[in-house]
Amino acid sequence: MTFHFSSIFNKQLLKALGMSLFIGALSSCQASTDTANNAKIDENGGNNTPNMSVLDMIYCKPDNLAFIAAHRGRDKNTAYPENALESLQALYEKSVLFAEIDIARLKDGTLILAHDGVWERISNGKGPLANTTWTQSQKYLLKNAKGQITPYHPSKFTTVLEWAKYKMVLEIDFKSSVSERIVIDKIKSANMLNQVILISYSKKQALRLQSIAPEAAISIKVSKYGDFKAYQVSGLNLDTALGWIGKQKLDRSLSGKFTHNNIPILSSKDYRSYDKQTLLPDLIVTDYAISAQKDFQMNASDLARMRTCMNNR
C-alpha cells in the first residue's frame, strides 16, 4: 500500500507536534491554518486530502514516543468544557493532535458532541438531549470540569469535522442515541475517514462498524491473547484495528502479542506511569492531554525518522 502525505497535513502535523523546524519534504509548523490554505488544490487537480491514514501515522511514530489523545476532547486543567469545538481548538494550539469525542443525537436529528443523555452535568440546561432541538440547545452554556459555566454552547458534529480536517485525529465514541451509519456518513461526506478512529466495545459492534466503513481505523477491546483469536474467528479484519487495553499495565508479554498481530496499542492508563524509557503504547488517552503532550514531544531526530518512514509508505 502506497501513501503520499499531503503537504497541508504535514504542516498541521508538525504544528500539532510542537515542531519549529524545516526538514526536507516536511514543511514548517508555522504554516497558515486558514480556510484558504486547507482548501488548496494539489498538483494532481484534486482536493488536498491526506491519503495517509491515522494507522500509517502511528506506524511511522518513533518507538520511544506515544501520541496523546484528549479524553472527551478537553483538558481538565483548563477552563474549557468537554466535547466542544472551542476546547479542541485550544488543545490544538497546545500541540495535542488526537482527541476522543462523544457523538449524541438531538430531537431534530442534529448530531452534537455530548457524553451524557441529559443536560444537567454538562451544561446549565435541563432534561434529556433527546427532547431538545438544535435551536433550544444553543440557549444552553456548557460547564467545565469544575462545574463552572463557560461562554460556550454545544457544538455540531459537522462543524467539528469541518474544523478538524488536516488538523486533528478524532476518536469517535457513539452514544446510544445515534445511528452509527449516519455518523459515519457524515464523516465520509467530510472526507475524514482517514482522520478518525471508530470506537467499539464488543466484537458485534466492531464487525458492524467495519461493515459500514471497512477502510476506517477501529479500536477494539483487548486484555489477553485470547481476545485476538476471538476477533479473528469472528471475521474482523485486524489490519485496521487498534487494541484498547484500558488502564491495565502494558507488560512485555501483552505488548509482544500486539506486535505479533501488527496492531497498535491504545491505553487510558495514567500517562505519568509512562516515560520514554518504559514500554509505551502507541496512543495514550488522558484527561490531562496538555501536560502529557509536553512529556512526549518530538525532537528533530524523532521527526527525521518519522519523515523517512512517511516518505517510504
Predicted TM-score (pTM) of the model is 0.85
Q: Which domain holds residue 196?
A: 63-297
Structural domain includes residue 34: no
Report yes or no on 245 lying in a domain: yes
Q: Does residue 179 form part of some domain? A: yes
Confidence of residue 22 (pLDDT cuts 50, 70, 90): very low
The SS3 assignment for 302 reads helix
* 221 grid coordinates: 477491546
pLDDT tier at 63, thresholds 50, 70, 90: confident
Phi/psi of residue 187, nearest 5 degrees:
-65, -45
Rounded Cα distance between 128 and 223, Å, is 34
Q: Using alpha carbons, select from 287, 310, 306 the residue that is nearest to residue 74.
A: 287
Strands 111-113 and 169-174: unpaired
42 domain-assigned: no
- Rounded percentage of the chain residues whose pLDDT exceeds 70: 83
Q: Is residue 313 part of a domain?
A: no
Q: What is the pLDDT of residues 269-309, one digit of tens each?
A: 999 888 766 789 999 999 999 999 998 888 888 888 888 88
Cell triple for residue 89?
481548538
Q: Is residue 29 part of a domain?
A: no
pLDDT digits (tens, 9 = 90+) for 137-174: 999 999 999 999 999 999 999 999 999 998 999 999 99
Task: Provide the pairing of β-strand 111-113 with 283-286.
Answer: unpaired
Query: Is there a domain that residue 302 lies in?
Result: no
Domain tally, the chain: 1
Res 236: pLDDT:
95
Residue 23 in domain: no
CATH at residue 217: 3.20.20.190
